[in-house]
């Protein structure tokens, strides 16, 4: 049979295949659209209901507890979130990366390392409210350094962020090719130098991405803050006092009988989502830039 004849003979089969192919494409596209709908709706609602509050003194004035008149903006919440999560980051990331370094460079497959990994995995599944309750009992009720304070909220958040940092950091560190470690060791470098001068710099982009994702998560958690920071209206920079935060503000405002306050809640929610979005974009850009370098 000539080549042309064989192709002719194949034609009917390929017709059927083409039909199946289009069917599958259609089905997958439909599934994607179905998944996207709620996401789009959420964003739509957020923007629709929240963007109206933006403007004026929304970002420059603090919320006040008044029942009448201008309810104020979300400045203290925004700054409070940044502060609390900032401190949580300072706690969670060094410790988290340290744990990950131990697991990949020193512990490896030892029994202890495997136990640690197991517990970290368990921690990722613990509901955030449990962390809040834990800190509530251990720090707040015990009156350690005050009652409700911002830094206790940071500690609670850091407990939440820690397993995320550890897991993502471990993945990234494992991705560093072992040949690099070998090359550095073969040059006669002590192991700690290998870790800090070769492994960490190579893994840095991935570590940054993982950390930013943990921060984004921390930004949005409400439950841990409820029992630790408890919230406030006024702007304060002291971490040993109660502090406002965006999730707390939203929680407080959404059930208010006053419409403007409810609107403020939507505005705050939009601000929170925007903040998280910005962090995600920054994470992606940072990791791509370093990959291209």
194 binds other proteins (CB under 8 A): yes
Q: In sequence order, what DSSP letters do the residues of 79-114 get, joined into one string?
A: HHHHHHHHHHHHHHHHHHHHHHHIIIIIITTSHHHH
Q: Which stretch binds other proteins (CB under 8 A): 123-131, 142-150, 172-180, 228-236?
A: 172-180
Residue from 129, 185, 276, 282 in contact with other proteins (CB under 8 A): 185
130/285 Cα distance (integer angstroms): 34
In this chain, which stretch among 6-14, 60-68, 89-97, 192-200 interacts with other proteins, using CB under 8 A? 192-200
| Cα–Cα distance for residue pair 174/176, rounded to 1 Å | 5
Q: Please pick, from the candidates 202, 211, 228, 244, the single residue that binds other proteins as defined by CB under 8 A.
A: 202
Binding flag, residue 116, other proteins (CB under 8 A): no
Residue 4 has which token pair?
Answer: 């042309």
Q: CB neighbours of 237 closer than 8 A, spacing ≥ 6? A: 79, 83
Alpha helices in the chain (DSSP H): 3-50, 75-101, 111-125, 128-135, 150-175, 178-186, 191-193, 200-220, 223-226, 246-253, 259-292
Residue from 33, 187, 281, 285 touching other proteins (CB under 8 A): that is 187
- Which residue's CB is nearer to other proteins, number 194 or number 223? 194
Choosing from 123, 130, 189, 286, the residue that interacts with other proteins (CB under 8 A) is: 189
Contact call for residues 218 and 208 (beta carbons, < 8 A): no
- Output 97 or 223, the one with its CB closest to other proteins: 97
Q: How far is the CB of 203 from other proteins (least distance, A)?
A: 10
Give the x-and-dash track for 61-100 against other proteins (CB under 8 A). ----------------------------------------
Q: Residue 141 and residue 135: Cα distance in Å, rounded?
A: 9
Nearest CB to other proteins, comparing residues 34 and 186: 186
CA–CA gap between residue 263 and residue 38 (Å, rounded): 21
* Minimum separation from the CB atom of position 95 to other proteins (A): 24
For other proteins, which is the closer residue by CB, 145 or 201?
201
Spatial distance between the Cα atoms of 292 and 220, rounded to a whole number of angstroms = 31
Of the candidate spans 77-85, 191-199, 215-223, 227-235, the one that interacts with other proteins by CB under 8 A turns out to be 191-199
DSSP single-letter state for residue 72: -
Instruction: Write down the least CB distance from residue 186 to other proteins, Å.
Output: 4
- Interacting residues with other proteins (CB under 8 A): 108-109, 177, 179-180, 182-190, 193-194, 197-198, 201-202, 204, 293
């Amino acid at each position: 049979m000539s080549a042309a004849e064989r192709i002719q003979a194949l034609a009917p089969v390929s017709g059927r295949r083409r039909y199946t192919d289009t069917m599958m494409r259609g089905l997958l596209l439909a599934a994607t659209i179905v998944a996207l709908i709620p996401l789009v709706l959420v964003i739509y609602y957020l923007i629709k209901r929240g963007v109206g509050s933006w403007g004026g003194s929304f970002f420059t004035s603090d919320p006040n507890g008044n029942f009448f008149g201008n309810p104020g903006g979300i400045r203290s919440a925004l700054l409070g979130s940044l502060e609390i999560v900032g401190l949580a980051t300072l706690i969670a990331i060094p410790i988290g990366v340290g744990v990950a370094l131990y697991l990949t460079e020193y512990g490896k497959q030892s029994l202890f390392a495997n136990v640690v990994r197991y517990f970290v995995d368990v921690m990722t599944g613990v509901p955030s409210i449990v962390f809040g309750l834990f800190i509530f009992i251990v720090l707040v009720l015990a009156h350690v350094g005050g009652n409700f304070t911002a830094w206790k909220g940071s500690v609670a958040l850091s407990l939440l962020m820690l397993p995320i940092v550890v897991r993502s950091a471990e993945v990234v560190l494992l991705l560093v090719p072992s040949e690099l470690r070998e090359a550095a060791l073969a040059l006669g470098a002590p192991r700690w130098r290998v870790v800090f001068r070769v492994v960490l710099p190579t893994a840095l982009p991935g570590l940054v991405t993982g950390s930013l994702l943990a921060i984004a998560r921390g930004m949005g958690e409400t439950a841990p803050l409820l029992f630790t920071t408890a919230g406030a209206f006024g702007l304060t920079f002291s971490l040993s006092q109660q502090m406002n935060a965006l999730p707390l503000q939203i929680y407080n405002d959404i059930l208010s009988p006053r419409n403007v306050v409810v609107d403020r809640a939507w505005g705050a929610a939009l601000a929170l989502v925007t903040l998280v979005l910005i962090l995600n974009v920054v994470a992606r850009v940072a990791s791509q830039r370093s990959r291209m370098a």
